[in-house]
Amino acid sequence: MFRIAIRAHFDAAHFLRNYPGKCAQVHGHRWEVEVCLKGTKLSAAGMLVDFHDLKKAVKQIITDYDHCLLNDLPEFGQKKLNPTAENIARQIFLKVNNVLKFEEDTGLAWVKVYESPDTWAIYEED
């Protein structure tokens, strides 16, 4: 099994609804995002997926998150979903799956979102 990953970041604010602490107030983070693909077969060029294509897809997705209040985005505001690292990782995972078209033996392994250098969440599907 091969795995490749890229890292990107965005800066955004959020607050947590129904949270009994200071994170209920609007505050910001520099969110780091890692996206990892997995697969068993390489292309004729020896690549699972071109890093350029993966970076472009992730950049396209996180551009909507950059320099905004995450709670105002439809996936968080309209659904009343807290923009936690866990939920952001899941949303990015779903969006990457919609943007990239994978070969039969290749897919998304996981998405990891860092809220700070020491705290992160991973979303993956079985």
Which residues form the catalytic set?
Answer: 23, 67, 115
Element (H, E) at 115: strand 106-116
Instruction: Identify whether the C-beta of residue 62 lies closer than 8 Å to the C-beta of residue 95.
Output: no
Composition of the chain by helix, strand, coil, percent to 5: 30, 35, 35
3-state secondary structure of 76: helix
Phi, psi of 33 (to 5 degrees): -125, 130
